[in-house]
Amino acid sequence: MSLRWYTVVVDCRDVAAQARWWAQVLDWKMIYEADDEAVIVPKHATADKPSAQDWTTVPPGLVFVPVAEGKTVKNRLHIDLAPHLTDDRDAEIQRLLDLGATRADVGQDREKVTWEVLADPEGNEFCVLSAREL
């Protein structure tokens, strides 16, 4: 038996808007959209059915589902993004801010940490890490 990380599910108020925002941030594609669910995956993910051997190498997607309540507390789970060593991390952070992200304070000491905490348009925190190769 082989399990793989299939998706991360994001609770939100506006499923389509959140999915489109994250698709733009990650340069992914929307593969499903309905009133009660939207799904985005990496552009290189294919519709081909993977063999059992390749099953664990298929990248996970993000699924957005509606909830009635708004976000009230810090996320217990969040997404970490990282630029490649050849990319300008500060420019990427500015791009995210220009797309509608906001800076978030979850108690981090900005003088000591090597990551930037941001929030998506619905307030879900995520981090932009230092540049790296892997």
**DSSP codes, 44-87:** T--SSPPPTTTGGGSPPEEEEEE-SSPP-S--SS-EEE--BTTS
Integer angstrom CA distances of residue 30 from 24, 26, 70, 72, 86:
10, 11, 24, 27, 27
What's the confidence (pLDDT) of residue 70? 85
Does the structure show a pLDDT above 70 at 88? yes
Question: Does the structure show a pLDDT above 90 at 54?
Answer: no
Predicted confidence (pLDDT) per residue in 93-124, tens digit:
999 999 999 999 988 888 889 899 999 999 99
The pLDDT of residue 46: 67
Q: Which domains does the chain have, with CATH numbers?
A: 7-66 (3.30.720.120), 79-128 (no CATH)
pTM of the model: 0.89
Does 58 have pLDDT greater than 70? yes
